[in-house]
Amino acid sequence: MQSRETDMKTIALIRHAKSCWKDSTLPDLDRPLNRRGRISAPEMGRRLQMQPLFLKRFYSSPAVRSVETAGWLMPCLGLGAMNLEVVPELYTFNYEDILCWLRGLDEDANNFALICHNPAMTDLVNYLTLMKIQKIPTCGVVLLNIDLNCWADLGAGMAELAYLDFPKSVTGKTISLGVA
């Protein structure tokens, strides 16, 4: 019996940029980015541009702050609105919901970004890498390499952390987030 080689899959997990809390009547889903978020998102896009990766698609939570974050990042990577898909399942604070969504992807899905929320994002990174990061900051970017054929097989410890950066980091690859 021949064994099938696995495919290296690269995903970028991106926490939405800093959001505005000025209007307390706005539902959580409708909160936009604040000034700091509108500055840090394109900066993180420029930093991502320096990485050896080719993102083909962005999947975003429907939260306004997530879609706006995608809108600032994508042009830096040569992507337009046609490369963005809003996914209701990504508006969650539970990593298992995102994991379930990932497990439903087609086998050929690769080189994409997810824009989502904490604590789901940090918990998902910790689950997939077996790391113990305390909290990924707003607009934090994590690149994971995952060696597998089928997304349905995705499980604990299957990802390798390739890159971690966030707006207040100076150099990227900064693992000063309480990593054990």
With a cut of 90, say whether residue 175 has pLDDT above it: no
Number of domains comprising the chain: 1
Q: For residue 53, what pLDDT is reported? A: 82
Is 160 a member of any domain? yes
With a cut of 90, say whether residue 169 has pLDDT above it: no
> 176 pLDDT band (50/70/90 cuts)?
very low
With a cut of 70, say whether residue 23 has pLDDT above it: yes
The mean pLDDT of the chain is 91
Q: For residue 2, what pLDDT is reported? A: 42
Whether 102 contacts 151, CB under 8 Å: yes
Is 54 a member of any domain? yes
With a cut of 70, say whether residue 3 has pLDDT above it: no
73: domain range? 7-165
> 61 pLDDT band (50/70/90 cuts)?
very high
Distance CA 22, CA 160 (A): 38
Mean pLDDT of 21-29: 93
Q: Which two tokens mark 81?
A: 């609105």
Mean pLDDT of 151-164: 96
Residue with tokens 């997810």: 114
Is 89 a member of any domain? yes
Is 45 a member of any domain? yes
Whether 112 contacts 73, CB under 8 Å: no
Count how many Cα atoms sit within 13 Å of the Cα of residue 68 in the half-sphere of its side chain.
22
**pTM, rounded to two decimals:** 0.90
Supply the CATH number for residue 95's domain: 3.40.50.1240
Is 95 a member of any domain? yes
Share of the chain above pLDDT 90, in %: 85
Q: Catalogue the E-assigned strands of the chain.
A: 7-15, 57-60, 84-86, 112-116, 141-148, 159-165
